[in-house]
Amino acid sequence: MEEILREEIARIGSVPCARFMEVALYQPEHGYYERDRTVVGQRGDFYTSVSVGPLFGQMLGFQFAEWLDACGMRNAERGQPDAPLQIVEAGAHDGQLAEDILNWLARHRPDVLPRIEYWILDPSLRRQGWQRGRLSRFAPHVRWFANWAEIQQAGGVTGIIFANELLDAFPVHRVAWRAAEQQWFEWGVRTAGDRFIWTRLPALHLNVSALMDPSAALSNLDESLRASSWASLAPVLPDGFILELNPFAEFWWGLAARSLRHGKLLTFDYGHTTTDVIHPDKPHGTLRAYRDHHQVDDILASPGTQDITAHVNFAAITHAGERAGLLTSELVGQGRYLTNIAQRTMQQTAVFGEWHGERVRQFQTLSHPDHLGRSFSVLVQERS
């Protein structure tokens, strides 16, 4: 991985942060998310809601079944009672969450499972292999896609599109405020001996990522910064104040929204809204690296061996969906969102099952403010 990055930097002098992240995380042979399916969980570098246990997937299965029932009723009203419904999971990693959802549907809503197709959106053939192995018993119901274009060619989605902790791993541009010059500049990466170090790039620009369609790229970062709702705060920012911009996540969300014919689009992730994009507690931005469940001081060290992530700008993501015609129904903390589902499951124990001790323990971890309940937010948008 280091050799790949060094060769590219040697050719062009330096690379934007977004390009460094793209290679370090997604390079097909050596990228962090390609190298090992155990990067998540106790033996990996970080936990997710899926790592807590099957309850997260079970609760999503319960919620998804309700939404799919409503989609089926709308199809019947349109004179298409037998039209297929889809659950689309983007970024399924090793397929654990898909297995938890499908297991719950098979056991508790066997009437729903025959009516749906579970689609997985993942460009990586290696990760698709992990997923196929785990989901072999559900093979007739599962289908894989490499990009949104393939999904749109298949007729789009009537049902649910969702992602869990995906957007925070999209490559970001790292920009900083130069108080003396009253302008933004972009941090890039270059080499210094045997190390990778931050360097100021000569101009703000948007690196066209291989992950995205180049034609959808924003024209330049300067326009994006000047058009932002918080741009008026820039003149009073301290020198060197850092922000992360993620036009790729916004574009990706817009594609997801346009692929949704009817139903729900949602994501679980950690991030911020318009009111705290610029916050005095985050003068150095939110870009972080993790290894062995600990934050790593040097984000650029040992690329390909540690996770790199940044907070999601939920305001920007919300606007991207609304521009594509979706209505925003919820943007709440994960604790509140899952508590609302839990309350409904307790009224339908014949469907969901009893809340035994292990389920309660998992729910506390998923929802308590001291655990994952406050760290993560849930954005739900819809097209009726």
Q: What domains appear along the chain, each with residue ranges and CATH number? A: 2-37+171-245+286-307 (no CATH), 49-168+257-266+316-383 (3.40.50.12710)
Q: Give the count of beta carbons closer than 10 Å to the beta carbon of residue 104.
A: 23
DSSP tag of 49: G
What's the rounded Cα separation, in Å, for the pair 331 and 268?
10
- SS3 label, residue 195: strand
Handedness of CA 254, 259, 263, 267 (dihedral sign): negative
What is the crossing angle of helices 125-134 and 96-108, to 10°? 30
Look up the pTM and report it. 0.92
Cα dist from 53 to 61, 167, 186, 272, 350, whole Å:
14, 22, 40, 26, 21
Tokens 């150095």, residue?
Answer: 284
Between CA 107 and CA 119 the distance in angstroms is 20
pLDDT value, residue 347: 95
- Sign of the torsion angle spanned by Cα atoms 306, 310, 314, 317: negative
211 and 171 Cβ atoms separated by less than 8 Å: yes
In angstroms, the CA 114 to CA 131 distance is 20
Q: Quick one: three-class SS letters along 207-219? A: CCCCCCCHHHCCC
User: Could you tell me what percentage of the chain is helix, strand and coil, using 3-state DSSP and rounding each to the nearest 5?
Assistant: 40, 25, 35
Fill in the DSSP letter of residue 243: E
User: What's the confidence (pLDDT) of residue 76?
Assistant: 86
Buried b (16+ CB within 10 A) or exposed e, 32-61: bbbeebebbbeebbbbbbbebbbbbbbbbb
308 in helix, strand or coil?
A: strand
Q: Which two tokens stand for residue 277?
A: 């994009």
Residue 127, token pair as written in the block: 């990760």
The answer to whether 45 touches 307, Cβ cutoff 8 Å, is: yes
Residues 189, 14 contacting (CB under 8 angstroms): yes
Low pLDDT (below 50) residues in the chain: 207-219
